[in-house]
Amino acid sequence: MRKYLIFLLLIIPVFLAAQNKVTITGKVSEANGNEPLTGVTIIEKGGTNGTISDIDGNYTLSNVTVGSTLSFSMIGFTTKEIKVGANTVINVLLEDDSKMLEDVVVIGYGVVKKSDLTSSITTVKGDDLKSITSGNALYSMQGKANGVQVTGSGGPGDNPRIIIRGVTTINGSDPLYVVDGVPMSSGTNINFLNQNDIESMEVLKDASASAIYGTRASNGVILITTKKGSKGKTQFQFNASLGVQTISKPNMANAATYEKVFKQRYINDGNEQQALDNWAVEGVSSFSDTDWWDQTINKAAYTQSYNLGFQGGSDKFTFSGSIGYYRQNSQFDVGYWERITGRFNTEYKFNDIVKAGIDFAPRYENWDDTPNLFGAVMKMDPSTPVYRAQEDWSVSNPYNNYQRSYHNQEWNPMGSVARQNKHSDEYGMIMNPFVNIEPIKGLIFRTQFGVNARFRMTDEFTPEFYIDNLEKNESAKAKRNSDHWVDWNWANTLNYTRTFNEKHNLNVMAGFTMEQFAKYWLEGSRDGVPSNLKDLQYVSAATGEQMVIKGTNEYDSYVSYLGRVMYNYDNRYYVTASIRSDGSSKFPAANRYATFPSASLAWRVSEEAFMKEQDIVSNLKIRAGWGRVGNAQISRSAYLNLISAADYVYNGDRYIGTAIGQIGNNNLKWEIVEDLNLGVDVSFLDNRLDVTADIYRKKSNDMLIQKENLMILGYPMWNGQLWTNIGSMEAKGWEVSLNWRDKVRDFKYEVGLNLSSVKNVAKNFGTTSEILTGGFFNDYIIKNVPGGEISRFYGYIADGIFQNQTEINSHTSNNGDILQPNAQPGDIRFKDLNNDGVIDANDKTYIGNAFPDLMVGLNLRFGYKNFDLVSNFYGTFGNDIYNSAKGGLYAGTDGQNVFADAYDKAWHGEGTSNYYPRLSYADANLNYRTVSSFFVEDGSYFRCKLLQIGYTLPKKFTKDVDIRLSASAQNLFTITSYSGMDPERASISATKDDGTYNVLESGIDNIAYPNPRTFLFGININF
Amino acid sequence: MKTTKCFSLLLILLYLLSGCSDDDDYSDVDGLPPTISLASSTIQTEPGREFLIEAKIEDKDGLRSINLKNAAFQLDKTIDLTLDSIVYSFDLSYKFKTAKTLEGDNFPLEITTTDLGGRTTTETITVTMDGDFTSPVFTLAPDNDITVLLKSETRLNIKFTVEDDKALSIVYINIPELDYSQEVTTFTNSGKALVYDDPLTLPSKLATYNLEIRAVDKAGHETVKNSIITVSEMPDFPKMYLADVATVEELNSDVFGVPMRIERTAAYEYKANYYNEKAGTEIFFLPQKSDFTPICFGLDPVDNTKLTDDPSIAQPIVLTQANVYYEITFNVQTAAYNIKTYSIADAIDPVPHKFGSVSLDTWGDGGSWLQEFYFGYMTSSPKEVVKFKQDATNPHLYSLSAPLALEAGEKMNFIIHNWHSDGWWNYCTWRVDDSDEPETFGYYGNFKNPLWTKPNTTLDNWAKPTVKQTGSYKLYFDAHLGRGKLVRE
């Protein structure tokens, strides 16, 4: 018996063990489509027993203890855990975790489930960020983030113009960028970010969302969240794309046509002899026929992008990282932008209470400035050869060998390209360590200290050369700029989340932040560099009298207290309220602090019992939000009186001295924007159709305007202006987004349509009755007045062309006063709008509007088996462009070159044209020098921003590796009636001194670098 | 029920539409066409002259439009009277200027008016081109003050030319003190011109006479020219001129600058600086501008070391060297004279920079911004300067490449000024001594050649001469001499 007992005791565990250990088999597939998933990690929790699914998604895991839990995990999919029971075959469907990501939205100092959002926030993430190859991630928002106007500028490294829900200030439209919780300084170009590193970009559009960023949120906030690691097998991704950019060549006149136009301008004015005299060039018997576009602008410019990324981790430690390279060449022989980025992100969970991590992102950028010579190339005289005759060449200075234009004052663009010599190197780093402490469940204290530091060195050399008295630089000059930016941000938040009685959901957050933005800069330049030799292109080599040495430090700093309460009852009734009190060094002591509150409400109607019985509407939420935000995009020293360096001249001698540089305002305070938003989110048919609609009104008060001082005070006119809080603007608009996604067998498709409209109205400019911008000869193109939309063109109405003398004689007042006494047949007839018998400033009216009535984004995504196709379209409708370059390109003003059809299109006899005036040298009727509707064109366009076809190689060939090949075209085609080079680029126009776009001066086309058409081939490898 | 509703809606819509349509229709008051009362059925004018079309136009229904039409005039003007409130009566007062090149004697100008009922009335005005609106013009006239030297036989040539654009009627020439009275009614050039040249012998005594010439055209327009003739011993002439032309016509064909004003250095003493472009130039000195008589200083044929004042015997001073500046000094009392030359290189002008070089210091700060330096003919702003062409041989000498087309009666208004991109003033500029009759150009600019020591002029006088004869003129300017001339091409 005893023996039996001993035997039993010995064998029972063996038996039990044999009974408890089983072999589990099964297949892991994608929940959405049932595609087999390769490389899924299957681990028996609490041990080391694990395996990976094979190419067909199948797996076998032996020695699994019955009752244990299996974990199925894979990057990009939601981890699933299944308890092992009697069944030894476990087939698993893994959900794409992008769906999960969609459900969580990053908000300021926290995250929230999308369903719990009470504000207007748009998210761009996932494939939308990757599909466009560009140096700036903001381009991937174009047409996808509704209400966000992204207008492209084509040059290497150029910054697009971003306007979120219209304009409420004359002081810039740039939003606040916050990268992983670190606010960037105003005017930041976020092209330093590798878009492969970005997990998501959230646009806080209304003040109820953005007020948590208080002082700097009036233009909206863009939160950029970079990729983080996650638990599971380490995944690698390699992406590469190579492309060529092209720019459409305008059809310019050859030398023969140019000559005809050149001479006809004089002949039409009755000066045939002058035509001959001015065409003749001493010592030149025959002219060239130079195609300056082909000479100067390359047919193809290359762009390339490579990125290697990885993510992984365990329960304790997660990590992600990447190394990326991007380069965009310009269309000229000089000019490029290059960027190498690294990013390494780690998080370590010490225990259930403490977690810490760091984001470390160094980068190196370098670029050669791209010359803007498109205008010069189009204007340059085609009868001039590129170089002088070889016998006249200078051996010592090749810059002298370019030929001066024979027939106009344009500088030789090839010479300009050769002399272009401005290079910048920038080294930057963002470090962002944090510690999370959760002493009791639901209460999280987070402290994060971010540093954003960068150093830029720019060297510019202007060589000595002599082509002509009017095209020369007598003394070579070297210049160096050294700029350091060091910004830091310390954010401390306490967040408490708890659900009471299962239905009361509460989230409370309180925080304290400190920030400083500092710039240290030095500039030195001197002329008289003895030679153009590369080795002498330094300031120290210069010996001349003209020298500039200047530099200073600039700071602005903020201290802020913030808080937010989010509460919902039973996931049906939502209330959110936030407040931020900001103190800023940009304002005088008395007005240094300001408070920015917000509140929003939402009702999830679809969660009500009465909605449960139907299956058409799967989600319905109504939102309302109000908030107050500020704008501090003004100079750091706007409230201070400043003394600046100034030179004085006595008896012809120069004396260095000082003068009043700025008049300060001790009462300066924040520019406040008040915002009201109403929205609705609806999903139909089992979430296949999502509709989001918003209407909003943003109104600024105390807008900062530089006001003229009284002349009696004796301040210099140009420095006597002082910033004052006297203005007001209003933006009203609506947005509707429709998104349909579905699957028919193997065919998946998604169609998104974004429609938005905003009207930007100036309400009050204080004592300033109008703000005129956009100089055009002795006039202005744009007139901004209180009560009217901003950036409207103001001029005369061109009412066709005088076909004969009778029409001129009949264009009179009722008393017979000839309205245009200098006109001849072929000249433009300007409308006597007020019918007072005189053409004067009273006949001017608004002749165009730079801002569109409607912005449209159309996003298509199709997938069929291994093929996928992505297409994005973006367009604006109802906006006008003042094509100021058109005048010269059809008139040959100052002897410039013209379009090939200029001679034929110009009026040359009765009935030949009712639009293009006659050619004239004197232009006595001021056809081309009067701000008129002749220059105004419909700037509406609809552009295919992206067309991409991808093919994922079958798994049977690639085993554990996913390989996708793609071919794309960016800016492939544009539907527009605009005659200029690029309606998109033209709609932005002017930049201010600090490089930001001047929203009050939009829509004037002066031939800037257009958005190129780009063809790319890409490969994505995941393993 | 639904059909009924739709039908009702349709009816309402039709009613509204028809209502709108009714608004456009006009209800007649008297149903009569408008009336046109012409101020005159004929208008007398001439080609290139503005005339006034006057009429009173009325309609009790209200006027819609008035059309003025004549194909030869290239006139087809419609006055729209529907822009504001209804107009029942309109006082037409419409000025119109015909082309100068218009050919023909008379033209029917139709005035058609339409009332709001669409009824029209047309009246025709006959416009004839036979009007005479211009007074006779003296294209050559005696100076205001004529000095005649007392001689054993004191002579004066009364010489003038008067012209009228249509026809002269009579010309009176009177010197009351001499009982000289002439009436001329016979004219040349189809009755449009009189060339008068009557040599008079004056009493050989010191005296003053008043010459009045009165020209009357056939329309009764008259022009009077008065001169004071003084018979005296050799006076100390306040002004003296250098004539480098051979004929009286050439002497009078300029707008200004011929003959060239020279400098009075002391009592009876004069100094002429003159740039001689070609060898063999013949010159005289004149105290009057329009004629070589009554006084003309030239070489005395008997004694070449002296000058004579007698135009009948004076021989020209011949300048034999080309491309040099001459300096001639003379005394009208002693008749002594002296001639010397100096080179172009030795001549100094006030111009501060090399013409055509990039040397103009835009901001006056030592040259932070330089621009091309040149100057020229300027009528409005330094941005609009018509660039001078610098003479290839003499850098002090400038001219306008393109001629100026000027019309008789036109009053000019210009200065010589540097071009400036920002419209800056007084950098390098000249003003004239007398706006109406400019004779010398004085430097007025802020910056000048340091070697130039002459004081700036303080007179801010723009040149405003009146053109006597229509034609094409060329402007020359010598910066060294401060002399300009505007002469027929």
CA distance A745 to chain B (A): 44
Tell me the nearest-neighbour CA distance from A638 into chain B, angstroms: 28
Q: Say if residue A68 is in the same domain as residue A144.
A: no
Question: Which tokens hold the place of A747?
Answer: 């065919």
Query: What are the distances in angstroms from CA A486 to CA A12, A448, A455?
Result: 70, 17, 9
Q: Do A835 and B83 touch (CB under 8 A)?
A: yes
pLDDT at A196: 86
Instruction: Indicate whether A626 pLDDT > 80.
Output: yes
B chain contacts of residue A470, beta-carbon cutoff 8 Å: 358, 372
Taking contacts as CB-CB distances below 8 angstroms, the residues of chain A near B99 are: 805
Written as one letter, the residue type at A348 is: Y
Q: How many domains does chain A have?
A: 3
CATH of the domain at A125: 2.170.130.10
Query: Distances from the Cα of A893 to the Cαs of A94, A262, A775, A929, B74, in angstroms?
Result: 68, 9, 17, 10, 31
- Give the tokens for residue B34: 């408008």
Give how far the C-alpha of residue A513 lies from the chain's centroid of Cα atoms, to the nearest Å.
27
Same-domain status, A42 and A10: yes
Query: How far is B474 from B485, CA to CA, in rounded Å?
Result: 8
**Nearest-CA residue of chain A relative to B66?**
A814
Cα separation, B358 vs B367, whole angstroms: 10
The tens digit of pLDDT for each residue in A766-784 reads 877 888 999 998 899 999 9
Kindly state the average pLDDT of the residues A162-191. Answer: 86
The alpha carbon of residue B323 is apart from the nearest alpha carbon of chain A, in Å, by: 24
Query: What are B52's strand-pairing partners?
Result: B95
Q: Is the pLDDT of residue A251 over 50?
A: yes
Q: Does the interface ipTM go beyond 0.90?
A: no
Greatest Cα-to-Cα distance within chain A, rounded to the nearest angstrom: 139
Distance between CA atoms of A493 and A430, rounded to whole angstroms?
21
Structure tokens at A634: 């003004």
Mean pLDDT of A457-475: 91
The answer on A152 and A162 residing in a single domain is: yes
| Burial bucket for residue A492 (CB in 10 Å: 0-12, 13-18, 19+) | middle
Q: Nearest-5° angle of CA A796, CA A800, CA A806?
A: 110
Are residues A888 and A379 in contact, defined by beta-carbon separation less than 8 angstroms?
A: yes
Distance (Å, rounded) from C-alpha B347 to C-alpha B349? 7
**Helical (H) or strand (E) element with B481:** none
Domain assignment present for residue A174? The answer is: yes
Output B465 or B362, whichever has higher pLDDT.
B465
The pLDDT score that the predictor gives to residue A907 is 96
**In A, which residues are within 8 Å of B368 by CB distance?**
546
B/e letters for B281-314, b = 16+ CB within 10 Å, e = fewer, are bebbbbbbbbbbbbbbbbbbeeeeeebbbbbeeb
| Orientation of helix A272-279 relative to helix A255-267, angle to 10° | 140
Rounded Cα gap, residues B482 and B476, in angstroms: 11
Question: In sequence order, what are the beta bridge partners of B401?
Answer: none
Whose tokens are 């050039």? That residue is B189
- On chain A, the residues whose CB falls within 8 A of the CB of B53 are 816
A190 lies in some domain: yes
d(CA A666, CA A653): 38
Is the CB of B76 less than 8 angstroms away from the CB of A806? yes
- Per-residue pLDDT averaged across A419-434, rounded? 95
Residue A650: pLDDT above 60? Answer: yes
- In the predicted model, is pLDDT for residue A979 greater than 50? yes
Q: Which domain holds residue A297?
A: 231-254+289-432
Q: What is the pLDDT of residue A987?
A: 80
Neighbours of A139 (CB within 10 A): 23
Enumerate the residues of chain B whose CB falls inside 8 A of the CB of residue A718.
none
3-state secondary structure of B347: coil
Mean pLDDT along residues B414-425: 88
pLDDT of A528 reads: 92
pLDDT (average), residues A704-717: 73
Q: Which of A95-109, A474-488, B232-246, B421-435 has the lowest mean pLDDT?
A: A95-109
Site from A467, A653, A655, A810 to mutate, B interface, most B CB atoms within 10 angstroms: A810
Distance CA A905, CA A940 (A): 24
pLDDT at A615: 80
> Is it the case that residue A723 has pLDDT exceeding 60?
yes
Q: pLDDT tens digit string along B58-82?
A: 999 899 999 999 999 999 999 999 8
pLDDT tens digits for range B91-103: 999 999 999 899 9
- Residue A940: CB partners within 8 Å, gap ≥ 6? A852, A875, A876, A877, A878, A879, A976, A977, A978, A983
The answer to whether the CB atoms of A815 and B76 lie below 8 A apart is: no
**Do residues B222 and B214 make contact, with C-beta atoms less than 8 angstroms apart?**
yes
Average pLDDT of the segment spanning A294-323: 93
CATH of domain B35-128: 2.60.40.10
- Which of B52, B77, B100, B390 best probes binding to A when mutated, by most A CB atoms within 10 angstroms? B77
Higher pLDDT, A5 or B120: B120
Q: Of the given ranges (A97-111, A1007-1021, B147-161), which has the lowest mean pLDDT? A: A97-111
Tell me which of A432, A451, A479 is where a domain ends: A432
Nearest 5°: phi and psi at A377?
-65, -40
pLDDT recorded at residue A707: 81
For B75, the closest of A809, A815, A835 (CB atoms) is A809
Q: Is B326 left (phi over 0), alpha (psi -120 to 50) or beta?
A: beta
Indicate the domain borders of chain B.
Answer: 35-128, 137-232, 240-342, 358-488
Selected residue with higher pLDDT from A990 and A444: A444
Q: Do domains B35-128 and B358-488 have the same CATH topology?
A: yes
Whether A649 sits inside 8 A of B364 (CB atoms) is yes
Residue B353 tokens, joined: 């920079």
Residue A223 sits in the same domain as residue A237? no
Residue A874 lies in a domain: no
Does the pLDDT value for residue A499 go beyond 70?
yes
Whether the predicted pLDDT of A938 surpasses 50: yes
Strand pairing partners for A82?
A: A70
Chain A residue with Cα closest to B355: A469
Same domain assignment for residues A132 and A151: yes
* pLDDT value of position A100: 46
Among A649, A805, A814, beta carbon nearest to B79: A814
- Which CATH entry fits the domain spanning B137-232: 3.30.930.10, 2.60.40.420, 2.30.30.40, 2.60.40.10? 2.60.40.10
Distance from CA of A929 to the nearest CA of B (A): 14
A199 belongs to a structural domain = yes
Taking the CB of residue A777, how many other CB atoms lie within 10 A of it? 12
The pLDDT assigned to A78 comes to: 77
Q: Write the DSSP assignment of A291-345 as a string of letters.
A: -HHHHHS-S-EEEEEEEEEEEEE-SSEEEEEEEEEEEEE-SSSS-EEEEEEEEEE
Question: What pLDDT shows up at residue B17?
Answer: 43
Q: Distance of alpha carbon A819 from its chain centroid, rounded?
A: 47
Place of tokens 């401005």: A422
Q: Do A381 and A236 share a structural domain? A: yes
What sign for the dihedral angle of Cα B367, B368, B372, B377? negative
Percent of residues, chain B, with pLDDT higher than 90? 70
Q: Residue B329 CA to chain centroid, in angstroms?
A: 33
Residue A196 and residue A70 share a domain: no
- A701 within domain boundaries: no
Could you report the per-residue pLDDT of A13-40, keeping only the tens digit for each?
A: 444 444 478 889 998 887 765 677 877 8
A118 belongs to a structural domain: yes
Q: What is the pLDDT of residues A592-603, one digit of tens each?
A: 999 999 999 999
From CA B44, how far away is CA A816, in angstroms rounded? Answer: 18
For B203-213, the pLDDT digits (tens) are 989 999 999 99
Examine the domain organization and report whether A105 and A91 are in the same domain.
no
How far apart CA B365 and CA A655 sit, in angstroms, is: 9
Phi-psi region of A968 (alpha: psi -120 to 50; beta: other; left: phi over 0): beta
Is the domain of A215 the same as that of A238? no
Mean pLDDT of B328-348: 95
Q: How confident is the prediction for chain A on average, in pLDDT?
A: 89
Q: What is the mean pLDDT of residues A286-308?
A: 94
From A145's Cα to the closest Cα of chain B, the distance in A is 43
> What amino acid occupies position A661?
G
Instruction: Check if CATH label 2.60.40.3620 holds for domain B358-488.
Output: yes
By the 8 A CB rule, do A342 and A362 touch?
A: yes
Tell me which fold the domain B240-342 belongs to: Immunoglobulin-like (2.60.40)
Is residue A1008 in some structural domain?
Answer: no
For residue A651, the model assigns a pLDDT of 65
Say if residue A161's pLDDT is above 90.
no
Query: Hey, what's the torsion of the CAs at A195, A199, A203, A204, to 10 degrees?
Result: -140
Average pLDDT (B143-149) is: 89
Average pLDDT rounded to a whole number, residues A460-483: 92
A237 within 8 A of A1020, measured Cβ to Cβ: yes
**Based on the domain organization, do A213 and A224 belong to the same domain?**
yes
Q: What are phi and psi of A967, to 5 degrees?
A: -130, 130
Report how far Cα B215 is from the mean position of its chain's Cα atoms: 21
Between the CA of residue A160 and those of A118, A148, A178, A749, A760, what are the distances in Å? 29, 12, 17, 30, 20
A989 pLDDT band, cuts 50/70/90, is: low
User: Which candidate from A271, A469, A806 shows the least CB-CB separation from B357?
Assistant: A469
Per-residue pLDDT of A844-875, as tens digits, reads 999 999 999 999 999 999 999 889 999 999 99
How far, rounded to the nearest angstrom, does the alpha carbon of residue B374 sit from its chain's CA centroid?
Answer: 26
Record: contact A809-B96, CB cut-off 8 A: yes
Query: Minimal Cα–Cα distance from A838 to chain B, Å?
Result: 15
The answer, yes or no, to whether residue A915 has pLDDT greater than 50, is yes
CA A752 to chain centroid, in Å, comes to 21
pLDDT in tens, A780-839: 999 999 999 999 999 999 999 999 999 999 999 999 999 999 999 999 999 999 888 899
Contacting A with CB below 8 Å, chain B residues are 53, 71, 73-79, 83, 93-96, 99, 356-358, 364-366, 368, 372, 401-402
Q: What is the structure's pLDDT at B359?
A: 83
Q: In this structure, what token pair is assigned to residue B342?
A: 């100096």
Model confidence at A717, in pLDDT bands (50, 70, 90)? low
Whether residues A157 and A186 fall in one domain: yes
The rounded distance, in Å, linking the Cα atoms of A858 and A871 is: 8
Local structure of A999: helix, strand or coil: helix
pLDDT at A101 (0 to 100)? 44
Radius of gyration of chain A (CA): 33
Give me the phi and psi of B225, to 5 degrees please.
-125, 125
Whether A225 and A324 map to the same domain: the answer is: no
Q: For residue A645, is pLDDT > 90?
A: no
Which band of pLDDT confidence, cut at 50, 70 and 90, is reported for residue A97? Answer: low
Pairwise CA distance, residues B395 & B417, whole Å: 17
Chain A neighbors of B422, CB-CB under 8 A: none
Using an 8 Å Cβ cutoff, are A622 and A610 in contact? no
Model confidence pLDDT, tens digit, residues A993-1015: 666 778 888 999 988 889 999 99
- Could you tell me if residue A185 is inside a domain? yes
> Using the beta-carbon criterion (under 8 Å), do B76 and A472 form an inter-chain contact?
no
User: Which tokens hold the place of A848?
Assistant: 């165009």
